Amino acid sequence: MPSFRFHGRVEKLEIARGHDGFLRGPPDPVLAVAVYVHDASTCRLLGRSLHRFRPSARMPSEVLPDVHPIASGAIDANQDFRYLALVVALEEDGGRDVQRLYGMLEHHRLLSVWDEAHSEVEPFSLLAVPRELAWFTPTPVDLIVDGASASTSCSSDKYIGAVCWAMQPRSDVPTAPLRPSVYRLPFLAADRKNDWTALLSISH
């Protein structure tokens, strides 16, 4: 059975615009990152991570996270699987929604997504995300958490957005280390006051 390795990093957050309320200074961005191993019948969490940023008041700016690594691991599996990443961006105030959404990443059966550009489509469970080329590019999604929209259920922290995408595994070849792929994840708040882009480098 082939062996596959996955590892990655949150490199930085580009902040075009940031807002933390009236006269409250720069935002406090948080990214919750989950990586799942997904085949035709199962979806399981490889790992999750939380990343905080402390930007200066001057924007646009680029900010490094307090923690760089995301989930990593070795997978022994048949070729017919893919990785699925879900990244949730919040502006942290009270912290309770950060805790709640980070916790819910463990429970993928309670999560659903759909492409923001196609609002007429029914939400997909993570297991049902289509195996289509479009989903192999980071895609801004609406996120449903335990039956409620994440964008309207957050009260302690401000929900900025979520991005979901699939990645095809590449078999581990020790003599030829995998070059990381760089992914740009766009997050644009509904009120347009926070406009962020996260850069992740991932070897898969």
Whether residue 176 has pLDDT greater than 80: no
Beta bridge partners of 49: 33
Q: What is the CATH number of the domain that holds 48?
A: 2.60.40.150
Mean pLDDT of 157-171: 92
Say what percent of the chain tops pLDDT 90. Answer: 68
Query: To which residue do tokens 């059966």 refer?
Result: 109
Backbone angles phi, psi at 134, to 5 degrees: -60, -30
Which tens digit of pLDDT belongs to each residue from 94-147? 999 999 999 999 999 999 998 877 665 788 899 899 888 889 999 999 999 999
Whether residue 173 has pLDDT greater than 80: no
Peptide bond just before 60 cis, omega within 30 deg: yes
Domain that holds residue 83: 3-203
Collapsing DSSP to helix, strand or coil, 112 comes out as strand
Compute the CA torsion angle 176, 166, 126, 112 (nearest 10 deg): 140
Q: Which of 88, 75, 105 is nearest to 203 (CA)?
A: 75
Q: How many domains does the chain have?
A: 1
Q: What is the pTM of this model?
A: 0.94
